[in-house]
Structure formats: C-alpha cells, structure tokens
Amino acid sequence: MKHRFLSALVLLLVCAQLLTGVSFAARAPIAAAPAESTTPGETPADVPTPPEEEDKPIEYEYPNDWSRPALIFTVENGIFAGDENHNLNPGNNITRAEMAAVLVRLLGAKESADLSAFTDLDKNAWYMTELSAAVKAGIFGGVSATSMEPNDPITREQAVVVLSRAFGIVSEDRTSYKNFTDGSQVSPYARDALSAMRETGLANGYEDGSFRPQSSITRAEVAQLLYNLFDCIADKPDEIPASGWVLYRGAEKLPETLTLDGTLILGQAIDAQIIASDWNISEALHIRAGKEIKADLSGLKTKKLVCAPLSGTVQAQIEEVWLWGGGTDFTGDAAKLISVDATHTAAGTYGEVAVRAGTLTVNGDLGTASCGLSTHLTLSGSADKISVDGKYVTLDGKGRAKLIVINGGDYSITLAYDELDDAWFREYQKDHDNALSTVKTQVIPCPVEKDTAMYTTQGGTKIRDLPAGTIIYNEFHPAGTWFYASCADGTKGWVPRWDCYIPDDPPGATDGSYDYSKATKEGFVDLKGYSSKTGYLVWISRYTQKVIVFTGTQGDWEVIKTFPCSSGANNCPTPSGVFAIYAHDGGWNFDNYYVTTVTLFNGDMAFHSILYKYSGGTYDAELGYPKSHGCIRMNPEDAAYMQDLPIGTTVVVY
C-alpha cells in the first residue's frame, strides 16, 4: 500500500481545488498499478528496458502546482509513464485510448474483444491490446457502430462514464446530475454515471457549480481523479487495509475471513473461486472479476453488493444487490434488486426490483417491479405489482402478477395477470397518435389590397397574379419592401410589402396559458420524424408560444422542459423550418434596451432574455404573445437553460 502524505496532502488538495476549480472529492493515494503507454506512438510499457538501465531511476520534472502530488503518485505507482524524453505532459488532454489503457491496467483486465467493426483503428497501434480489453470488460464502447476515435481527447462526461463502468460505481439517485448548473448539457448516456459519481462524492464539479461535460480532461486532472478515487490498490491480500476504498487487483485468493470499514472492489485477475465465510465490509463489495466466476458470499455482511463480472454465479443474502457487467446468475434474497444492463438471472425473493436496461429473469417472488425503456422481465414466480415505465417493455414467463400498470408504449405482455391498468397509456396513445391533426401553427392572414403578383425572388420571375382581395399568409418579413408569403394552396414566394395589409394583432392569440399535452408534444416530433445530433431537440410552438425541450432519439422523444416565450410578431414572424443551435453569446445591445443569454439557431435569430433598460429594470417583460422581431424572447432563467444545450441541437419552428 502506498504511504500517505498526511498534512501536506491536505494542503496540496486544497491548492488543487483553488487553482483549477476542479473538485473530485479528495481521498488518499492509490498503490501500485502497471506501467502505461500514455501517448500514441510512444514505446509500449511492456518493451524491456535495456539491461544497463534497469536499475537506473528515471528522473521526472514535476510542476510546482496543484497537480504535483497526484503526478508523483501516478509515476511512483506506474499508472502514468512519460514520453520518450520522460516528460509527463500534464497539461495535454488525455485520449480515449490512453484512458482505456489506464483503466484496464488498474482493473487487471486481460480478456480481448473483436474490434474489427471499428474502421478507425490501426491494428498495429500501441493501444490495441488495452482497447480490446476495455471493450471486452464493458468499460468502453464505440462512439458509433464503426468508429472508436482512439486518438481523440476523452471528454469529462466520457471519463466519468468509463470510471463508473470500470469500478462498478452506482447509485439509486439518477437525477443528481441536474444539480450542476450545466446539467442540461450532460448527454443522456452519461447521466446515471455522473449522478452516481456525484452521489458517492467523487465528482463535485467546478467552483461555479458547473461540470463542463463536453470539455476535454487533461492528464493532470485524470491523475488527480485517480489519486482521489482509492485509498489503496492491493496486489496481495495482506496489503488490504482496515478501512477505505480499496481495489484488489491481485490473483491470490482472499482469506475467508476479512474485515474492511469501507468499499472493496475485486478486479479481473482474482481467482475464479471466491469464498466469503466471514466478510464484514461496512459499505459495499463490487465484483468486477473475470469469466466464469463462482462466488459463494453466504458469509458476507455489507450494505450493497454490485455483481459485475464478465460472467459467473454469485450466491449471497444482501439488503441491496446490483446486477451489472457481462451477465450474472445470482442466488439469494434481497430487499432491493437492480439490473443495470446485459442479461442476468436471479433466484430468490425480492421486495423491490428495478430493470433499468437489458434482460432480467427472476425465478422467485417479488413485491414490486419497475421496467424502463427497452427492458425485458421474465418472471416464474408471483409479483404484487409491475410497472411498465418506458416504451418497448416485454413481460413474459410462467409467473403471475396481481397488477400491471402501463406507463409506457409499444409493450408486449404475455405474462399472466389479475388486473391490467392501462388507462394512462390509452389516453397518452390517443393524444400521441392524433398529434399531427391537433397541433396548429401561427397563421397570419394578409389581404391583398391591390392587384399584385408573387415572385420567385424579390423582384424576380413572376409565379402568379394576386388579385385584390386574395388572402395570403405572412411567412417571413426581413427588413425591406418585400415579404415571403404563402397561398392557400401552399404556393410560396415573395410579394411587395405595401400591396398587402398585415394585421397588428395576432389572430387567435392567447395569453400563453394554452398548452398541448405531453403526449401531443411527443407525438408531434415523433410522427414528424425529427432527429438531432446531440440527444436534445427543441420545438418552438408559434401557436402556443412555448419553447419545448426534448431528450431522446428520433421517433422516441420525451419532453423534459416547457417554457413560455414570445416569437416574432405578425409583421416579422419567426420563420418556420428545421434549424440547429450554432452559437452562444453573452448578450446584444440595441438603441433603447439590451438582451442577455443569446443562443443562435437561424442566421441572426436566437433565443434570448426579455428586454432590459440600460438604466436598470425591464424594458419589456411580457411573454405569451408573438411580439418580437423574429427572435424568441424568454424569461432570463429559461434563456440561460437554452445556453446550456449543446451546439448542433435541432431547433424546430412550427
């Protein structure tokens, strides 16, 4: 076990937080880990040192700042190695491949995965062994079906995800990521991991309350994170301390009697036979072991058991059990059983069961169960209540449920039941499926006051004549003497502005109190087939004067926020169409007022705050009516939320 720095450590950690703003809750140092090749192209760590230099210590120059103790620690323990000149390059961003190498060597992962599907990998690169092991261990996945991006910097949210996966860090609270000021920027796949890391005190963000999930993370920051994460990494049983967060990376069997005031994580090198006759671990045991594990934990006493081997069987009687990793056959009773992903079986009696992802087979009885998006629960015993809380849920098996409550769509139920409550779903599905006929848009009838014509461009080729009295509809009016309009039959073109009358009052305008149901909102964007590059989607409803924010994917969007707004007035309506957020700005100044928190999505059209006086106070704070010059006015806190949405987020104006 590595020695501790005592009072000097405390001072240096305080300095680290003051100088960087990064706050990963402080813990004591890590003990030994194998050497790592840290930059693409450098000599892999397993290349032998020339004999004459084997005993010669390598001298590194460490910065005299917050990162010094963490970097010393990583070098002393073989976690980081420098480049060919022994430079640690602490300010460089760490790449995805480098992060994979760090984690598989800490975890002792050796099994390999087939990476042939990823076309951006160099099969002769230094990282192939480590990256293959990271994928096999379930730590890493591709950024797409064919791309791994090994040499790209890893983002902060990606780093949190792979750390959570590597060491089995989980939490029942799935919403803690929202406590960061930029929580809306966290990608959907990273929310559970960041919430778990925050709840366990391992990720507290920056001093301003942000986490900056899309930013890169430097080698020094990763060193600090690893430095904080564990109290000990042990390679032999007698190195396990009496307390702390401990990673056991050794291959030797652990003693059948073990006491630890803290959390123990078992790496993949451990012997496949794990026997706990008298283990007392105060907080949690995480099994991140290898294939075909046979763990008899009948003598284990702990609060939480995380089963995440590559495969195997686990027997225990624990209050709270998590099933993760490649697949576990669990035997034993538990008050709570939570299946995180993959395919697992559980034989016993369970008070509460939650299937977050993947497939779970329960051979026994349970009290209540909840099934999330795209999950599969097979039951051979009885259940008091099963809730279908997401779309695409499958319930089957030879068992029986007293009550099944449907809160999600497109489900498949062949499991026997006494009562099915699908009232919520039936109402939701009706609104969802009728959304296209329910949703309206802002329509601005403009009578033609004298004979005129519609043109392809401003003053271009004539499309059609427009006799006096014809009703056309204002679509867009830039500054000038022309505006873009549509006819009743859908024909669109440019019309001389002063040949038509554009009313001042919005027809059918409300005070902004009218709104569509959640099902109608989701049905509209689902049935329209809108997609987004970021996992977020924004719809500006000109009819209801609302900004609606969704999360999800094409055809499966979920409303997470609805804000009041004011879109463009009749004379200059916000153009309809599909756009994307492309920039954020602090604010804009005008002659008589200014606006703040600007998020641009179509030329110079943007989401921004209400209008403020230069002398103080508000210039115009009213929302709920079309009254802007084309931008989308919002309450200041709502406009600030929009600034947190990632660049590239689709914006639909309808």
Asked if 290 and 251 touch (Cβ cutoff 8 Å), the reply is no
> How many residues can be counted in the chain?
654
| Local structure of 600: helix, strand or coil | strand
CA distance 477 to 605: 13
Contact 260, 282 (CB under 8 A): yes
Quote the pLDDT of residue 336.
Answer: 98
Looking at residue 143, its pLDDT comes to 87
Longest dimension (CA), the chain: 98
Q: Say if residue 51's pLDDT is above 60.
A: no
Report pLDDT digits (tens) over 575-632.
Answer: 999 999 999 999 999 999 999 999 999 999 999 999 999 999 999 999 998 989 999 9
Looking at residues 104-108, what average pLDDT do you find? 89
Q: Whose CA is closest to 338, among 317, 324, 318?
A: 324
The confidence band for 528, taking pLDDT boundaries of 50, 70 and 90, is very high
Q: Report the 10 Å Cβ neighbour count for 440.
A: 13
Quote the CA–CA distance of 82 and 58 in Å, as a whole number.
10
Least confident among 36-40, 151-155, 343-347, 461-465 = 36-40
Q: Among 203-207, 277-281, 524-528, name the one with the lowest average pLDDT.
A: 203-207
> What own/partner pairs with CB < 8 Å and gap ≥ 24 does 549-552 have?
549/184, 549/641, 549/645, 550/521, 550/522, 550/525, 551/188, 552/188
- Looking at residue 544, what DSSP letter applies? T
Query: Given the DSSP bridges, would you call strands 358-363 and 343-347 parallel, antiparallel or unpaired?
Result: parallel
Whole-number Å distance between alpha carbons of 128 and 205: 32
d(C-alpha 436, C-alpha 76), whole Å: 63
Q: Quote the CA–CA distance of 640 and 182 in Å, as a whole number.
A: 10
pLDDT of 18: 28
What does the alpha-carbon distance between residue 129 and residue 97 come to, in Å, rounded to a whole number?
A: 10
CA-CA distance, 228 to 644, in Å (whole number)?
28
Per-residue pLDDT, 13: 31
Strands (E), 127-272: 232-234, 243-248, 257-266
So what's the pLDDT on residue 508? 54
Structure tokens at 215: 């930013």
pLDDT of residue 55: 52
* Average pLDDT of span 192-211: 90
Q: What's the confidence (pLDDT) of residue 331? A: 98
Report, as an integer, the average pLDDT of 487-502.
94
Confidence of residue 57 (pLDDT cuts 50, 70, 90): low
Q: Report whether 324 contacts 308 (CB < 8 A).
A: yes
Greatest mean pLDDT among 54-63, 138-147, 190-199, 279-288: 279-288
Residue 7 pLDDT more than 70?
no
Confidence of residue 507 (pLDDT cuts 50, 70, 90): low
Check residue 87 and give its pLDDT: 87
State phi, psi for 385 to the nearest 5 degrees. Answer: -155, 135
Looking at residue 53, what is its pLDDT?
A: 45
The whole-number average pLDDT for the span 244-256 is 94
Distance CA 436, CA 318 (A): 50
The percent of residues above 70 in pLDDT, for the chain, comes to 90
Q: Is the pLDDT of residue 9 over 50?
A: no
> What does the pLDDT average to over 469-475?
93
What SS3 state is found at 269?
coil
Dig out the tokens for 75 from the structure: 């070098």
pTM over cut 0.75: no
Q: Is the dihedral of CA 140, 143, 147, 153 positive or negative?
A: negative
* 3-class DSSP state of 163: helix
- Buried b vs exposed e over 488-524: b needs ≥16 C-beta within 10 Å? eeeebbbbbbebbebeeebeeeeebeebbbebbbbbb
Rounded distance between C-alpha atoms, residue 622 and residue 626, angstroms: 10
The Cα 500–Cα 517 span in angstroms is 36
Long-range Cβ contacts of 533-536 (<8 Å, 24+ apart) = 533/580, 533/648, 533/649, 533/650, 534/187, 534/645, 534/646, 534/647, 534/648, 534/649, 534/650, 535/187, 535/188, 535/189, 536/184, 536/645, 536/646, 536/649, 536/650
- Average pLDDT value for residue range 370-389: 97
Please give the structure tokens belonging to residue 576.
């309809």
| Percent of the chain predicted with pLDDT > 90 | 74
**Of residues 14 and 514, more confidently modeled:** 514
Element (H, E) at 405: strand 400-406
Are 609 and 596 in contact by the 8 Å Cβ rule? The answer is yes
Label residues 91-101 b or e (16+ Cβ within 10 Å = b): ebbbbbbbbbb
CA atoms within 13 Å, Cβ hemisphere of 45: 21
Of 410, 450, 345, 380, whose CA–CA distance to 556 is shortest?
Answer: 410
The helix (run of H) or strand (run of E) holding residue 14 is: helix 6-20
As a whole number, the mean pLDDT across the chain is 88
Quick: pLDDT tens for 288-315.
999 999 999 999 999 999 999 999 999 9
Q: Is 423 helix (H, G, I), strand (E, B) or coil?
A: helix
- Does 27 score more than 60 pLDDT? no
What span, in angstroms and rounded, lies between the C-alpha atoms of 598 and 587?
6
Higher pLDDT, 26 or 420: 420
- Kindly state the tokens that stand for 524: 């509209």
pLDDT at position 79 is 79
CB 31, CB 239: distance < 8 Å:
yes
Tokens 């396990």, residue? 240
Cβ–Cβ under 8 Å, residues 204 and 179: no
Phi, psi of 218 (to 5 degrees): -85, 165
Structure tokens at 94: 């760490």
